[in-house]
Structure 1
Amino acid sequence: MPPAPAPRGFAEVETWVFDLDNTLYPAQHDLWTQLDARMRDYVARLLGITPDEAFLVQKDYYRRYGTSLRGLMIEHGVDPAPFLEHVHQLDLSGLDASPRLAAAIELLPGTKLVYTNGSERHATNVLEKLGLGGHFAAIHDIVAAEFHPKPTEEAYQRFLRAHGVAPARAAMFEDLARNLEVPHRLGMATVLVIPPGERIAADQSWEFEGREAAYVDHVTHDLAGFLEGISAGT
């Protein structure tokens, strides 16, 4: 059996692409719990089912379609605008500014982009709270993607075209391994961001599949420290 290829490095990278939620801030801040609750309530009211039933529907759509919203659009013809407005009414008071991460991102050479399956408004609010508002050239959100979410190849191709990104000269940072498979196949260096002390819910363990896959070039539990290492050449 031939040896596995070496992980891709960053010497030629000129575009740095970051997921937002649970990547630029740790999952322990629990914004995703708020999002889950608001999506569950929306689905329950929309379909006239119990919150527990709505949770199962929401997670099923998330797994099969990439986002719960995409599933609702395909299965029920949902208008995405009211959904996005509802689910992103979040309490961000638990987020703190991260000067160390801001400095590490600033030192990266080239263009920095945020690519999220959420809305631009949500991303802007979160980035401002983190003290990262001026560090990214653009936010590519689910509306810009015409509601084609990661991890579909069509979504990534739309992103690359929209921002003129050359995959072989780009790096992708994500908290979900499945969202790194297509970027890696297209030629990007890939980094999986896993917060320290992470707890995995049994009913969502599928989200953590692929962490040992060859399409994950690097894994870090400390995004700021990892970026500092890139800039230092270590």
Structure 2
Amino acid sequence: MMTVTEDTHKTYEDHVTKQLELNQEHLNSLTHPGSQVKFDVDPDILPTPDPNLRVFFFDIDNCLYRNSTKIHDLMQISILEYFKNELNLKHEEAEKLNNTYYKQYGLAIRGLVMFHGIDAMQYNRFVDDSLPLQNILKPDLKLREMLINLRNSGKIDKLWLFTNAYKNHGLRCIRLLGVADLFDGITYCDYRQTDTLICKPDERAFEKAKLQSGLGDYKNAWFVDDSGLNIEKGISLGMRKCIHLVENEPNMLLGKTPRHSHVIRHITNLPNVLPELFKH
């Protein structure tokens, strides 16, 4: 006979399993323009660094889509459920621990791996992969048009995704948004490498993105992100222009807007602060 705790945990696992099945079914059914990834997600060979290569790095979450979609809130609920079920914490304890790890490491999973021995891939499955994103994200024609204009301007050589999420989540977002065919690659936080779990704003994450994209010099890089801490790091590394996306007010956990950064309220406002990149 199961205890109340065991029964609650099984209900939690069953719910996640069912949602994962629904998510995968929907993903397999996508046919709209931009719903399929065209780049090699995990290439075996890295490109030779090109000192003249121009790369625009795009964050994904709360950047390619609006923060007001409340996906972040949905994700926080999912994270707290994981904390409570896997670490047997009360809601207040889970909330406090999650905020601590998020502020200190940029990702809750880093703290979980470092101090609790959590399986990062299991965490990803129960938290990110189980989110019903298809109920929220739809093809964004204005975003698609802006990215096409940026590609066609001839001012940028590569559009590159740079996310703290694992690749499953990042790729699902761009497929649902209908822009997956417009990017040249992705640098993600590799949850499989638990000994070296590196994410923004760690400088090593930026170096990883630099190597994977083939960028030879940070002065030829542009970067947009909703995290002030990440933007601050990009500025300190010498990126040509860094754009802080702040839809309403800066999230203090992610840092205030740094000096020398541009500010926009929505990703499609990029041409307003970077007109030189959108002129043919």
Could you state the TM-score of these two structures normalised by the residue count of structure 2?
A: 0.71
Q: Which runs of 5+ in 2 are unaligned?
A: 1-51, 151-155
Residue 221 of structure 2 is matched in structure 1 by: 170
Change in 2 beyond 3 A, CA 1:232/1:113: closer
Residue 264 of structure 2 is matched in structure 1 by: 220
Q: Which runs of 5+ in 1 are unaligned?
A: 1-11
1:60 aligns with one of 100, 109, 126: 100
1:180 aligns with one of 220, 231, 238: 231
Residue 134 of structure 1 aligns to a residue in which SS? helix
Residue 125 of structure 1 is matched in structure 2 by: 172
Number of matched residues? 214
Task: State the distance in 2 between where 1:151 and 1:208 align.
Answer: 10
Task: State the distance in 2 between where 1:209 and 1:38 align.
Answer: 23
Deviation digits for residues 54-105 of structure 1 (CA, Å, limit 9, x no counterpart): 1110110111111100011111121110001111111222222211211211
Q: Which moved further from structure 2: 79-88 or 43-52?
A: 43-52
Q: How much does 1:230 deviate? A: 4.2
Residue 85 of structure 1 aligns to a residue in which SS? helix
Residue 243 of structure 2 is matched in structure 1 by: 191
Could you state the TM-score of these two structures normalised by the residue count of structure 1?
A: 0.84
Q: How much does 1:208 deviate? A: 5.3
Q: How much does 1:199 deviate? A: 6.0
Residue 192 of structure 1 aligns to a residue in which SS? strand
Residue 4 of structure 1 is matched in structure 2 by: none
Q: Which moved further from structure 2: 142-151 or 86-95?
A: 142-151
The answer to whether 1:210 aligns with 2:256 is yes
Which 4+ residue blocks in structure 1 deviate beyond 4 angstroms?
none
Change in 2 beyond 3 A, CA 1:232/1:114: closer
Task: State the distance in 1 between where 2:254 and 2:117 align.
Answer: 29
Change in 2 beyond 3 A, CA 1:163/1:199: closer
**Which amino acid is the alignment partner of residue 212 of structure 2?**
A
Residue 77 of structure 1 is matched in structure 2 by: 117
1:154 aligns with one of 184, 187, 204: 204
Q: How much does 1:220 deviate? A: 0.7
Residue 187 of structure 1 aligns to a residue in which SS? coil
